[in-house]
Homo-oligomer: A and B are copies of this chain.
């Protein structure tokens, strides 16, 4: 987990502002407020289903359709980032959280965040070269994490006995 980025507004305020400023005015409802608070109270990666399960387990009354609709708005508002990993769509904090990339463990499905000082320059470079206007990017390295590697090695050793 990386250090947070200082922001002047709470996610909730920022979302209200986004809703107000649309060409077509949108409303800030109780369920949306619950979702924003719930999501920004912890830091992790989640997909729609996980969020629904967790929120229900914690006593919130959320409907699948509304969660999908609200997640879309949150991405649009710049509060969340969407990640495509294989067939699943994950979400993670964007507002108040630094830009980063991911290592994705194909065994335990853990996501490890990383930053690298050279990346930004490379991207700027490449885009310039192709006259390309970046809107966003995703850089995901797939493989096996330290723990799972250890487990595999232990297992291999046991198999040899």
Q: Interface residues, chain A, CB within 8 Å of chain B? A: 84-87, 103, 105-106, 112, 114, 116, 118-119, 122-123, 125-127, 129-146, 149
Of chain B, the residue at the smallest CB distance from A116 is B122
B130 and A136 contacting across the interface, CB-CB below 8 Å: no
Known: A119-B122, A139-B139. A130 touches B114 (CB 8 A): yes
A130 and B103 contacting across the interface, CB-CB below 8 Å: yes
B135 and A123 contacting across the interface, CB-CB below 8 Å: no
Of chain B, the residue at the smallest CB distance from A135 is B143
Q: Which of A103, A114, A141, A149 gathers the greatest number of chain B CB atoms within 10 Å? A: A141
CA distance A135 to B104 in the complex (A): 10
CA distance A129 to B122 in the complex (A): 20
